[in-house]
Structure 1
Amino acid sequence: MRQFLGATLLLGLTAATSLNAADTAPGKALFEATCVACHGAAGQGNPALQAPALAGQQAAYLQRQLLNFRTDLRGTAAGDSGGAQMAPMAKGLADDAAVTAVAEYLASLPAAKATPALTGGDAAQGAKLYQSKCGSCHGGKAEGNPALNSPRLAGQSDVYLQTQFNHFKQGKRGYQQQDRFGRQMRMMANSLNETELQDVLAYLNTLGAK
């Protein structure tokens, strides 16, 4: 009886795995055709191209950002060269269903880990700053919080995070009235100075480093 139950459980797990693979297959095909050159075969990102890690990010967040690019809520500000490159790629996806498929595929991948590129910063001080200013939305370990529409930060490139943080401060992100969550982050970005940002990034590197 025990052997039968074990075999039945194994069969169920195998079937579930196959079903999940089948569910994400369309998104994988779209990702490989459209995104892999910049974001990497495993969605790990490419800091040299300012392409963020996408693997393991929340599907809802990825979907929202793709839709923002498609509707010019992001990527049209002067000086945002990375956003300007991303906008036509997002618009190259056929429809909302394609956007959802790509987002769900990326969310199904193991969360990315990053190699720190920035030096300096006080990680201990950054931990205090992060918990007081960022943790209530992005999670105690920077794992993100879907209920608050806050993305995962752990495992993201420090160079990319620095660039995007400064884009919020400079009005290159969160500049459209309809981008409610972007505008919220723009307000928070103005609560940290450059030294404090470096400390927070040093702390985040301890959470998602390879």
Structure 2
Amino acid sequence: MTRSPLHALLLLIGFANAAPVLADAVDGSALYAACASCHGAQAEGNPTLQAPALAGLNADYLSRQLEHFKAGRRGSDPADSIAAPMRAMAATLVDKQAVTAVATYLAGLPLPAIPSSLSGNAALGSRLYQAKCGACHGGKAEGNPAMNTPRLRQQHDSYLQRQVVHFRQGVRGSDPTDRYGKQMKMMAASVNDAELLDVLAYISSLDKP
């Protein structure tokens, strides 16, 4: 089919208008480079720095946490000195597009292999987990995007332990606008320290062949 000069001109105009969209696309991997010194080149986390693994987490969950840091809903409690630097890092993501780009990049990374570092009874932990956590976080701790819950397996158990304690103490999840954090505060209060170790042992066992 022969195209008229007008048709060709319109096509050129269309491509010209589309070009800025492609040029302005945000590179999530480039933005993440500033985070790699703590969270690892493949976002596998670093327990020495008490930095969690981020690879393979749900993008919506990651975006929400970054927005919480930016807004001061998370990391602003004086008792959460480890998370406080994340507020400054999150602030470097200047808009929602940048937040989404980083979250999408992290969600696409392969899940890391993480050894357990804490001791507990996995058999007891299995029963506790299914009774208290499984309905939201999934029977195999795989997370449930429909319920806005993150994956717990293939995460550093020391990080999970610290977060549950922080929820229990109100260091995390106390902001009135943090709806899901308030739910976790209630659940965290339902397990004692020994039970928590058992639950974490069960979660860690899910990653073993």
**TM-score w.r.t. length of structure 2:** 0.86
Greater share of helix: 1
Unaligned runs of 5+ in 2: 1-24
Aligned to 2:35: 35
User: What displacement does 1:82 show?
Assistant: 1.4
Change (3 A) 1:48 1:209: farther
Structure 1 runs, 4 residues or longer, greater than 4 Å off: none
User: What displacement does 1:92 show?
Assistant: 1.2
Equivalent positions of 1:46-195 (< 5 A) are: 46-118=46-118, 120-195=119-194
**d(CA) in 1 for partners of 2:163 and 2:26?**
30
User: What displacement does 1:112 show?
Assistant: 2.0
**d(CA) in 1 for partners of 2:186 and 2:70?**
24
Contact persistence 2:114–2:156 (CA under 8 A): yes
**d(CA) in 1 for partners of 2:124 and 2:130?**
10
Q: Which has the larger radius of gyration?
A: 2
Contact persistence 1:40–1:46 (CA under 8 A): yes
Aligned to 1:203: 202
User: What displacement does 1:209 show?
Assistant: 5.1
Contact persistence 2:26–2:98 (CA under 8 A): no
**d(CA) in 1 for partners of 2:129 and 2:169?**
21
Give 2:160's aligned amino acid.
L
**d(CA) in 2 for partners of 1:75 and 1:207?**
29
Unaligned runs of 5+ in 1: 1-23
**TM-score w.r.t. length of structure 1:** 0.85
Count the aligned residue pairs: 185
Contact persistence 2:28–2:105 (CA under 8 A): yes
**d(CA) in 1 for partners of 2:170 and 2:208?**
29
Calculate percent identity across the aligned residue pairs: 56
User: What displacement does 1:115 show?
Assistant: 1.4
